[in-house]
Structure 1
Amino acid sequence: MRISVIGCGYLGAVHAASMAELGHTVVGVDVDARKVELLSQGKAPFFEPDFEDVLRRNVDAGRLTFTTDYAAIAGAQVHFIGVGTPQSETGAANLTYVNAAIEGMLPHLGQCTDGPEVVAGKSTVPVGTAARLAEQVAPTGVTLVWNPEFLREGFAVKDTLDPDRMVYGLPDDERAAADAQAVLDELYRPIIEAGKPRLVMDYQTAELVKISANAFLATKISFINAMAQICDAADADVTALAGAIGLDDRIGKRFLRAGIGFGGGCLPKDIRAFQARANELGVGESLGFLAEVDKVNDAVRHSVVDTARRLLGEDLAGKRVAVLGAAFKPDSDDMRNSPALDLAQEFTDLSASVVVMDPAASPILADREGLPYEIASSIEAALNGADLIVLGTEWKQFTTFDPAKAAELVARRIVIDGRNALPREDWKAAGFTYAGIGRR
């Protein structure tokens, strides 16, 4: 099939390259000329494992091109909307880029001669958006569907080509729905033939699937972090607690590792946008608990500073703090809402001397001017002379670093494991005072 993808940021670029990997001919459209230039050269504008290989392979094969010109989408059979929906000042999702994508597409829709033409939304939007957009697209004779993404940063290519489920949000018109479903089935045929679940539903439910999944995951993370605070107060161990409750099939083990909270471009903004939309629908009280989820996520970060003061003394002025991590999670350079950088800023505000190191994000930070903390290019440089080590992102390079070597570099042997990911006994054996999150 001929495919177009509007928006070539993290979601759109990965989806475009993955569709080309399935054998389709794909054009990606983005307003950022510099990004288009990089992608056209087979160079990834962001860090994501395996992405650049897939990108380069398909660009070189001629199946994947990028442009700033919307006219390039004319004649394609499926048009994906993969633009961002950032948080607005009110907390609601900002649909500026989604609306602009539709406006840019409209003059070029309805020109496919290979069969029914479909616009497929992948962006995370407030419930009710698809129905509104479908009315805008309808005069072109093109059917709108909602096909949400479920990508995990660090696993985005795998999650696109080998998803755990696919969701089709289809219109109420039975004929249009049947035609659109047939197009999507053909598009995703290798995935469907591999036996992956395909769930067919209406627009509204499809829109709710992604945002409700993110709200649930955020709730689970904040729950175990709240339990970590209880464990600290009661001198209990949250890792043993999580292991015990995680064996219950109704609960499960995943997302039950206490730490300094969630970040990134999805969970924080999505739970706020979900609350805002619920308020608009007149049922805001039904999601009132998400405000508490947000509060717990902030509180656990502040507790790290309290622990640092307990270990180093109330006055942190002049103390050298090495924050290991800047990205919100490992195998990514995404620093949006990063707990690690929030901590770096908090320590800086308390007049500590802070140095940050991240395997993927350090080069990006090094190019920024006016940062209140130092950027190190290696773990050794970050640890040299440190009074305190704080693990902010659980990169493998950090969790496997030799504690004995760290002991030789630091000024004081104190470590706060903000992700409960370090081998505690090994660090204690190297002479470190070890503090985790909710651990005895």
Structure 2
Amino acid sequence: MAPVVSPVPTSEDLPSSTVVGIIGGGIVGLTAALVLAERGIPVVVLEKGRLAGEQSSRNLGWIRKMGRSVADVPLACVADRLWAGLAARVGEDVGYRQAGIMYLARTQAEMDMHRGWLDSVRDLSLDSRLLTAPQVDMLVPHGQGTWAGGIYTPSDGRAEPTRAASAIARAATRHGAIIVEQCAVRTLSMEGGQVKGLVTERGEMRCEQVLLAGGLWSRRFLGNLGIGLPTLPLVCSALRTSPLDGMGEIAVGAPDFSFRKRLDGGYTITQRGALDAPLTLDHLRIGMRYLPTLRQQIGNLRIGIGREFVEDLMLARRWDKAAVSPFERVRVKDPAANAALVAEAMDNLVRAWPTFGNAAVAQSWAGTMDITPDSLPVIGAVTKMPGLTLASGFSGHGFGTSLAAGALAVDLLTGQAPIVEATPYRLDRFT
């Protein structure tokens, strides 16, 4: 069952024109809309289903610098500052708490991995530090796990995915942005090799610039235009518990479970060491690009072939503007939670912290992430399509950096100085 997203009043009508059209009503697209509206630039967001209906509301809510690629840390640092000011900016509590995140290690090999990452970011002035086993027990007491130690970043935090995107959307509309749900974009309208508008299921909307923030659907949208975006799906299953006292505020990630406190007093929990990898045709097309990552992560993947393969085959990869698009056939990607993984997560956690045995499972769900070969997103211009900017491929890390990513996309789209160096996110790094 999907998480319940805070509702947002949206427009019933498709405008005939605007300056910037945004494809996708997830948190990155909505953040970009807020930034544009704050700068006085007319913008329309078009969402094929419902706002934040997919990964933007199904992620774990972690806002972290720890463990990120070195190239991605500057964006995460800017995002920290933006998250800290978001409640005042949008006039709502989105659950942001700078309560810290801790990763645990069972073996010295895992500690060496954390030590290696810490060494790689020494010049970035982070507050991350290694922990001994007694320090782990002091920060998160009442545990019975046997740990070699851990790594801890006090300035990392969390927020509520079911609140954040909606609050950003409401603020964007107050600043003049227009948001239209249940309106799929089929393709781009081009004139003289330049983007001039969006062709939707309700007709055409003229615009000067387009931002594609379609998450896992961006690959298919671009493929219809003859542009390759290498992303593959991974599915994360999660659960939430009823309210539970006595476990503190720090979010914890162990090799085979994770937990973080929620605003409602319960906890969001996953089997951190296992993700579902449903095979699709794209695995045959671009899977070789993922071999270096696969060698490192193969033990964490539950690879299988089933109905996902058939469902993917049934969706068109080429269509014209008059045809019903795949985005109209699947309004919301809603995978079922893997009951075995959810049970594993809870069992593993209770063995380490028996207090969780007192919590009832209130809900479980799953979300599909779009993973790039290097696990970094693509943020920047699509040179083959002047007027088109891309912000997708966030590889399960996008919620935490979304506020900075949306702002960076707008900077690049409007020609302003970018908030961080954008070179690591260029699409052409894959070619």
- TM-score (ref. length: structure 1): 0.26
Structure with the greater alpha carbon radius of gyration: 1
**Structure with more of its chain in helix, by fraction:** 1
Q: Which structure is richer in relative contact order (CA contacts within 8 A, separation 6 or more)?
A: 2
**Structure with more of its chain in strand, by fraction:** 2
